[in-house]
Amino acid sequence: MVGQSEYTEVVSQEFTVGKVDAGMAILLSPDHHLIEFPSTILPDGVTTGSVINVTIERNLDEERRRKAEFENTQNDILTQYTRVPVAPVLSVAHVTQTSARVTWTPPVLYGATLVGLDVYRSGTLQAQHVGLAATQAKLSGLEMDHKYDVHIVARTSAGLLKSNTVSLTTHTLDNLTGICVSFGLLTDQAEARSLAQLITQMGATCTEHLSTDNTHLVCVYGRGPKWEKAKEWNIPCVSPEFLKACSSNGRVMPSHSFYVEASSDK
């Protein structure tokens, strides 16, 4: 059974056609009110002096349908353009005696624009440039065995988005787990295997590729792509004796005593 549309009570009003011109008709009610009415929807043959009845009724079903459609459109606009941006989530990636690296998830901005990223260490803004596409930062020059609270602030066109605050404590000298080395040019593979075993025993780490996360470059010869990058990134280039000294003394030894200088030997 087909449902019927809901209408209100029908209202009918009598009018006399006064003038028909340029698509409009002037209608005169018995109580001398004038209204303009589209002549295109008048019955055929209607002209000046004709008497017509105009019937009006309210279509409640169509009214509710249009109202629902309008509200849905408003909700779509609200969802699309008023979603609250999400702040980055910060975490600690690596800690040594004097440095730390933190990483974060990119802020979810929706319609906003990222203007800048600021790193705060224990409430103090750090004077270091952080690119808009960056998701990590290295904190250097830290004190040993010291606690720091770190957070970042994303500056956006919609305002400031502050991340969570993470706490980290730099290592003591006898904590060797913060040492993260990469090997440069060594004497032979046997030496590399022996040093890798020593690193494991110390609880330190070794990476194949050199990055700013590395604390030292261990090498015998001061040349090669890794050595050049280490110099560019201010990563100490030390001899294998550095690892042996750290292991035998049970603490991180000063790097300057084991520096490897530039070498031109082939």
Domain holding 233: CATH number? Answer: 3.40.50.10190
Position 201 pLDDT exceeds 50: yes
Same domain, 193 and 253: yes
Q: Which of 136, 169, 202 is the last residue of a domain?
A: 169
Picking from 252, 213, 217, the residue whose alpha carbon sits closest to that of residue 100 is 213
| 67/126 same-domain check | no
**Structure-token pair, residue 109:** 């901005």
- Average pLDDT of the chain, as a whole number: 90
pTM score, whole prediction: 0.60
Render the burial of 56-80: b for 16+ CB within 10 Å, e for the rest. Answer: eeeeeeeeeeeeeeeeeeeeeeeee
Residue 158 falls within a domain, yes or no?
A: yes
Same domain, 164 and 192: no
pLDDT in tens, 70-119: 999 999 888 777 788 899 999 999 898 888 999 999 999 987 899 999 99
Q: What percent of the chain has pLDDT over 70?
A: 96
Same domain, 161 and 193: no
Last residue of a domain, one of 114, 147, 169: 169
The Cα 48–Cα 64 span in angstroms is: 38
Domain-embedded: residue 111:
yes
Domain hosting 35: range is 11-81
Instruction: Give φ, ψ of 59 to 5 degrees.
Output: -95, 95
Report the number of distinct structural domains present in the chain: 3
- The pLDDT value given to residue 9: 73
Helix (H, G, I), strand (E, B) or coil at 5: coil
Domain of 104, CATH number, reads 2.60.40.10
Q: Are residues 143 and 194 in the same domain?
A: no
Q: Is the dihedral of CA 242, 243, 244, 249 positive or negative?
A: positive
Rounded Cα–Cα distance for residues 183 and 112 (Å): 44
